[in-house]
Amino acid sequence: MSPQNPDRIKIAVQKSGRLTEHSLDLLARCGLKYSKGRDQLICYGENLPIDVLLVRDDDIPGLVRDDVCDLGIVGANVLEEKRLAFAAAGDTAPFTIVRKLDFGHCRLSFAVPEDMPWQGPADLAGRRIATSYPHIVGEFLRRQGLEASVVEFSGAVEIAPKLGRADVICDLVSTGGTLRANHLREEDTILDSVSSLIQTPKTVPAGKAEWMERLKKRIDGVIQVSESKYIMLHAPRAALAEITRLLPGSEAPTVMPLEGREDKVAIHAVCRENVFWETLEELKQAGASSMLVLPVEKMLY
């Protein structure tokens, strides 16, 4: 199949940054093999009709809106900023968020110099706020009925107070290390963000639509698998109900007889949550023995 074929799916992924490795790893775990060359703009899928476009994350919502790409993986922070920007320009349905993924967790928060007192967002009134998210911050101020000036920074927002360009910043935080290094203190959060899969809201040809659905099902499977474990153990028949209750996130375990043991059974179950040492200790207390916890490689429902 030629890469220009209109039936091939184009998915936009961040070229180089925090989301790149997670995004490409997710696609690989969905079974996609592509010809390498990270410096290139496009990676052609070799075994599935899916090509990957490597671009700046900020460009991804626009590429999906303009039908250059059918799908994209990008943080909710960028999506919300672009959604507000597109809406201001009259485009109210640029893309559809179809999945929340399990990476890229961060939050958009206000941060103030360590020596500045803070009672709450009302303290923003009359201040200069440096941010790379002018639409999100502007919308927040409007909803709070506050007047403040928004100073747009495209990067290194955390140095704005030191440079005398702003009193407060509104920026992405995950661990808080960058804020502390710049003598800033995190205050109110205005957006919790995670990477998301977006899709064009327009109708796509049937062959392509079918593959988009298959890819989404595989993504669901990959996410479930990373949170799932297969557990095997022996249990006294008398403790069956209690042990089943203790298995985290498992619906209907398989119960099997043990050769020559009337009093005990083997239980196998898929647990849709991590199985911690504490759970194994509780199971042991309830009478379980010979416990094995295994990773799950693939899952399809």
Q: What is the side-by-side order of every strand in the sheet holding 128-131?
A: 149-152, 128-131, 168-173, 106-113, 184-193
- The residues, any chain, with a CB within 8 Å of residue 75's CB and separated by 6 or more, are 19, 57, 104, 106, 193, 194, 195, 196
Touching ligand ATP, residues 143-182 (CB under 6 A): 172, 174
In the bound complex, what is the minimum distance in angstroms from residue 55's beta carbon to Zn ion?
Answer: 10
CA dist 150 and 186 (Å) reads 18
3-class DSSP state of 242 = helix
Q: Residue 224: which of 273, 268, 277 has the closest Cα? A: 273
Segment contacting ligand ATP by CB under 6 A, of 4-12, 56-64, 213-221, 248-256: 56-64
In the bound complex, what is the minimum distance in angstroms from residue 116's beta carbon to ligand ATP?
Answer: 22
Binding of ligand ATP by 17 (CB under 6 A): yes
In the bound complex, what is the minimum distance in angstroms from residue 73's beta carbon to ligand ATP?
Answer: 10
Segment contacting ligand ATP by CB under 6 A, of 50-58, 139-147, 199-207, 252-260: 50-58
Task: Give exposure, 81-93, as e/b (b: 16+ Cβ within 10 Å).
Answer: bbbbbbeeeeeee
User: What single DSSP character describes residue 248?
Assistant: T
Binding of Zn ion by 80 (CB under 5 A): no
Binding of ligand ATP by 193 (CB under 6 A): yes
From the list Zn ion, ligand ATP, none, pick the one residue 216 interacts with, judged by a Cβ distance below 5 to 8 Å according to partner type: none
- 145/155 with CB nearer ligand ATP: 155
Q: Which residues pair with 229 in a beta bridge?
A: 271, 295
Binding of ligand ATP by 14 (CB under 6 A): yes
CA distances from 212 to 10, 28, 86, 159 (A): 10, 15, 25, 42
Binding of Zn ion by 81 (CB under 5 A): no
From the list ligand ATP, Zn ion, none, pick the one residue 75 interacts with, judged by a Cβ distance below 5 to 8 Å according to partner type: ligand ATP
Over the window 38 to 77, marking each residue x when it contacts Zn ion by CB under 5 A and - when it does not, the resulting string is -------------------xx-------------------
3-class DSSP state of 70 = coil
4 contacts 64 by C-beta, under 8 angstroms: no
Binding site for Zn ion (CB under 5 A): 57-58
Question: What are the residues binding ligand ATP (CB under 6 A)?
Answer: 14, 17-19, 56-58, 75, 77-78, 104, 106, 172, 174, 193
